[in-house]
Structure 1
Amino acid sequence: MLAYRLNNLSSPFTIFHKRLPRTMKPAAKITESTYDESAHFGVQRLKSRIIKQISHEFRTPLTSIIGFADMLGEKIPIDENQRLEYANYIRNEGLRLTKLVDDLIRLDSLEQGHAELQLMEYEIQETVRCALKLVAELALNKFVHISIEMPIEPLILKFDREKLIHALYQLLHNAVRFTKHGGLLTLKVETDGGYTVISIQDSGPGIMANDIPSLFKRFGKLYHHGEEIHGSGVGLAIVKHIIDQHNGDISVQSRIGEGSTFSVRLPLQLS
């Protein structure tokens, strides 16, 4: 009798054992499908956010270009000064769009690891002066005074000159842009242990403490008195990538109403 019961019990266990792999497979497929679907929606949300942000950045200059082009196309008599003013607006907005496209391409190249460093020895003071020349016109138009403090003795470092000039230009452009009309911008180059430190201090509105962590992220935004400060949110992300490539670091100190200081630290000996 006991043997009969054991024989009868063994049958369903055997059947269950044989069917176990088949029973588990659909569950595994459902889990994998759910994971893929979740990942897909995550990518779609990220793509939608990026497209929305880029569209926002393109819309403003395009609106200006179309508006001023329409004014020039109308059969309303305008004097030569007005015509030149409208043409200048169109040109500046076109340059702004070109810079945005270039920055997006540059950032993508850096993030994908396609932008290798072209390392050679250069004088850091000369490189800083080249970056300053790129913002000279903007500073002149805003009557911004730039105070420069650099060592007399040449500081020779190994770095990618083109990329570092671009990073410094981004920082200087932001500093001039946010410095009030007729304000002061201070640029310092000094050594600190095994590093060269380049500090750029503006006299702008300052950055709120809770905005600082997102400064160097792609499409990071700044706010002043609750209002978004216009900008592509790409420039500082590029700066961070370039400085990281040089085994350096970048930091920011800021006080509302007094201004901000961005400090770039580059190793004297690049490993």
Structure 2
Amino acid sequence: MLSYLLKKIFPPEEGFFPYIYLGNMIIPIYFMLQEPPNKLYPGLLLLIVFVLAYRHAFWSTRITNYLVAAEMVITVMFGYFYNPMYIYIIFVFVFQIARLPLKWMYWLCGFFTVISLYLIYKTVFVHPFYVVLTMIPPLFGGSILPFIMKSSLRYKELNENLTRVAKELERKNEEKTILEESKKRMLADLSHDLKTPMTTIQGYSKALYEGVIEDEEQKKKYMKYIYDKSIRVTTLIDELFMFSKLDSPDFPIQKAESDICEFFRGVIVEYYELFLEKEMELEIDIPNTKMLYLFDQKLLYRAISNILENTIKYNPNKTMVYIRLRKTFNSIKMELGDNGVGIKEEIAETLFDPFVRGDKSRMNDGGSGLGLAITKKILERHGGKLTLDTSPERGKTNFIMELPIEIGN
């Protein structure tokens, strides 16, 4: 029955056609095995090859019948799983061309061969470039754009993007090197800062334990040294722990909406007595209006306190202190400045790095060298930044804590 139907639809003719058509079958089979299959043009080509083979008695009638039947089954399966319209297009097209003159069928076969070869070119050569081109922009914060350029422009853009990748990798490598050096320096500084008080504690405690010190007043003095140094070690460890936590993206920021003007004013009030003790003059400019902002009060309190404590500790008596809060169109700025001893330019560039102090004489002042680094981290976790102006309009130094204004603030 199948043989009878095929003979009616595709009447065989005498003759023999070159073997090249057998090779053409590889092309559509290749595409049909792709995921997802690229079916239309290769499917047409494969059916035309079967028709030509049958009409030229390229194979025996029985084998040809089986091959054409298998192709029809495959076509139906593809249409069922992917696109039913594909079945209609294939069968109608083939039934229409089946009775065309052989010369016309040769041209059609050649036409679809060219199309299939072009599809192979796109799949094997162009598609990998397409994947590379579309995946590179997101690495730099870009978006995946439609791939509509001409081939020459594709290669040009591929070269440009690969150059960008090389430069970005080089930059990342430099950052990694700097980070590793910074960690090594931080560990060395930490070792030094811990070793100094621990050595003092060991020496004084050994003297007390062995009974070298007999005078009671001297014993109390030594115990006071031990206590002070232990406090220094505890402070250093606590601040190092806080610095490490702020460096972790898993560390939670407990933000709550509050009046930042009132909050800033409250922190200043807590240090008012210390300012009075050093006879420092305060010039405060904080708006009386309510300014709601979303922030972590504990962390921001610590950030402001670190700068206030440094201002009080490292400046002489009767220093003028400038305190200001202002709102711009995209940020809130809290400024803490003074006309005290100032900070050298060469130190200002690295002042916010861990264990950096404004002066060598501060190495044994009880500070950890992490205060400003922690302040910087806290502001960064709020999306803000900490900057230092060593040539302000008034005074010698001005710390600026800047917080971005986001939607809802």
TM above 0.5, yes or no, is yes
Alignment of 1:143-182 (within 5 A): 143-182=279-318
SS at match of 2:386: strand
1:270 offset after TM fit, Å? 5.7
For structure 1, which runs of at least 5 residues remain unmatched after alignment?
1-40
For structure 2, which runs of at least 5 residues remain unmatched after alignment?
1-176
Distance 1:269 1:159 in 2: 11
Classify 1:132/1:208 alpha carbon distance in 2 versus 1 (closer, same or farther; 3 Å): same
Q: Confirm or deny: 8 A CA contact 2:331 2:402 kept in the other structure.
A: yes
Deviations 1:225-259 (A, max 9, x none): xx454253322121111111212222111159x53
RMSD: 3.4
SS at match of 2:326: strand
Question: Aligned letter for 1:216?
Answer: F
Classify 1:89/1:135 alpha carbon distance in 2 versus 1 (closer, same or farther; 3 Å): farther
Classify 1:241/1:90 alpha carbon distance in 2 versus 1 (closer, same or farther; 3 Å): same
The equivalent position to 2:385 in structure 1, one of 243, 249, 254, is 249
The equivalent position to 2:214 in structure 1, one of 71, 75, 78, is 75
Q: Confirm or deny: 8 A CA contact 1:198 1:265 kept in the other structure.
A: yes
Question: Aligned letter for 1:264?
Answer: M
- In proportion to residue count, which structure has more strand? 1
Question: Aligned letter for 1:49?
Answer: R
Answering whether residue 191 of structure 2 is matched by residue 52 of structure 1, we say no
SS at match of 1:78: helix
Q: Confirm or deny: 8 A CA contact 1:147 1:186 kept in the other structure.
A: yes
Distance 1:55 1:202 in 2: 33
Alignment of 1:20-35 (within 5 A): none
Q: Confirm or deny: 8 A CA contact 1:178 1:202 kept in the other structure.
A: no
Answering whether residue 396 of structure 2 is matched by residue 259 of structure 1, we say yes
The equivalent residue for 1:23 is none
The structure with the largest alpha-carbon Rg is: 2
1:189 offset after TM fit, Å? 1.4
Answering whether residue 337 of structure 2 is matched by residue 201 of structure 1, we say yes
1:159 offset after TM fit, Å? 0.7
Q: Confirm or deny: 8 A CA contact 2:186 2:354 kept in the other structure.
A: no
Distance 2:198 2:266 in 1: 31
The equivalent residue for 1:24 is none
Q: Percent identity?
A: 25
Q: Which moved more, 1:126-135 or 1:157-166?
A: 126-135
The equivalent residue for 1:234 is 370
Classify 1:144/1:270 alpha carbon distance in 2 versus 1 (closer, same or farther; 3 Å): farther
Distance 1:193 1:44 in 2: 38
Classify 1:217/1:54 alpha carbon distance in 2 versus 1 (closer, same or farther; 3 Å): same
Q: Confirm or deny: 8 A CA contact 1:130 1:165 kept in the other structure.
A: no
Alignment of 1:9-24 (within 5 A): none
SS at match of 1:222: coil
1:164 offset after TM fit, Å? 0.6
1:94 offset after TM fit, Å? 3.3
SS at match of 1:211: helix
Q: Confirm or deny: 8 A CA contact 1:214 1:221 kept in the other structure.
A: no
Classify 1:191/1:44 alpha carbon distance in 2 versus 1 (closer, same or farther; 3 Å): closer
Classify 1:100/1:184 alpha carbon distance in 2 versus 1 (closer, same or farther; 3 Å): same
SS at match of 1:251: strand
Alignment of 1:91-102 (within 5 A): 91-102=227-238
Classify 1:210/1:47 alpha carbon distance in 2 versus 1 (closer, same or farther; 3 Å): closer
Q: Confirm or deny: 8 A CA contact 1:176 1:202 kept in the other structure.
A: no
Give the number of the structure with larger relative contact order, counting CA–CA contacts within 8 Å between residues 6 or more apart.
1
Aligned residues: 224
Distance 2:214 2:193 in 1: 31
Distance 1:148 1:88 in 2: 38
The equivalent position to 1:222 in structure 2, one of 343, 358, 363, is 358
Answering whether residue 325 of structure 2 is matched by residue 189 of structure 1, we say yes
The equivalent residue for 1:119 is 255
SS at match of 1:214: coil
1:134 offset after TM fit, Å? 5.2
TM-score, structure 2 normalization:
0.47
Classify 1:151/1:58 alpha carbon distance in 2 versus 1 (closer, same or farther; 3 Å): same
Distance 2:330 2:391 in 1: 28
Deviations 1:112-161 (A, max 9, x none): 22222111101113322443355455434433333322111122111111
